[in-house]
A and B are shown apart, each in its own frame.
Chain A
Amino acid sequence: MIKKLTILLLIGFLILQFFGPELPEVINKNPKDLITNNPDIPEDIKTILQVSCYDCHSNETTYPWYSNIAPVSFLVARDINHARDDLNFSNWEDMNKLDKASALDEITDVIIDDEMPMAIYTAMHRGASLSDQQKELLVSWTEEFSDQMFD
């Protein structure tokens, strides 16, 4: 009985692979990108953004091997689409100043509130979790960077 069930599940799993979602496209050249267009951003901030945010909030996603395997692929596709919709650093320069200011303020909120990076992401990407010091750095940078726009 258990053997039959296992075989059935396995077959189901294999069939599921043919119906997996298409993962959001990876684009590595983004002329409107935040970091590309703002060379003055401090190196440590660039690193934080690239390591902890860019996998979902840019077009430069690095997919781990398991992201192609259903049902994980559904989760990954959904989360990245959602993330890019909310804030895509690859399209930064397409935003107006007001929306940039709001986005930077939102970054502060989600960092202080520990909403981001998402726990499910840092569980699989240990290097992406932010230390308290990194969080402070990022938060004070968002405030400064936002202020610079209205000097």
Chain B
Amino acid sequence: MKLQITMKNLSLLLSITLSVIILMSFTNKNKAVKTYELSEVNYTVPNDIQEIINNSCYGCHNSDSKSKKGKMKLNFDKMSTMKVGKRVGKLNKIHGVVEENDMPPKKFLKKYPEKALNEEDSKKLASWAIEMASQYINE
């Protein structure tokens, strides 16, 4: 009898734990990985956006990039620490070049077609950038 109850309790406990884990994974899905508090504004990169950036942009736009120009124009490693005005400028440019299909460069995509942004990702990235930039406007 005692054992039965324990088993029952155990399975109950297990199912509760399991549902909590499942629930958490759902709520976590779109939560930001990185949040930086900086002069009262947030720079946040949700997981799905980070994935897009990693696949199509980060290869050239990072601190160790071999592309000097790519690194100078945009370095994702520095986005969280740069001054607000500069960050807004960069974010607005990301929105522009992604919307205009100027990035990643056509030449680069010939060699690495898998780095191309599909239409959905392109839209997602562009709207993240413009939303992130617009939140700094206080009028």
A residues within 8 Å of B by Cβ? 97-99, 101-106, 108-109, 112-113, 143-150
Contacts and interface: CB of A to CB of B under 8 A. Distances in A.
Interface of B: 41, 69, 72-73, 83-86, 88-90, 92-93, 96, 130, 133-134, 136-138
A99 B85 CA distance: 11
Given A98-B133, A101-B86, A143-B85, 16 more contacts: A97-B88, A98-B92, A98-B134, A101-B85, A101-B88, A102-B90, A102-B92, A105-B90, A113-B72, A143-B83, A144-B85, A146-B85, A146-B89, A148-B85, A150-B88, A150-B137
A101 B72 CA distance: 16
27 contacts: A97-B88, A98-B88, A98-B89, A98-B92, A98-B137, A101-B85, A101-B133, A102-B90, A102-B96, A103-B89, A105-B86, A105-B89, A105-B90, A106-B89, A109-B72, A109-B73, A112-B72, A113-B69, A143-B83, A143-B86, A147-B83, A147-B86, A148-B85, A150-B41, A150-B84, A150-B85, A150-B136
A143 B41 CA distance: 17
Nearest to A112: B72
Q: List the 10 shortest-distance A-B pairs measured between CB atoms, nearest first.
A: A146-B85, A105-B89, A101-B89, A147-B85, A98-B92, A101-B88, A102-B89, A102-B92, A150-B136, A150-B84
Nearest to A98: B92
Contacts, number: 62
Q: Tell me if A's interface is mostly helix, strand, loop or mixed.
A: helix
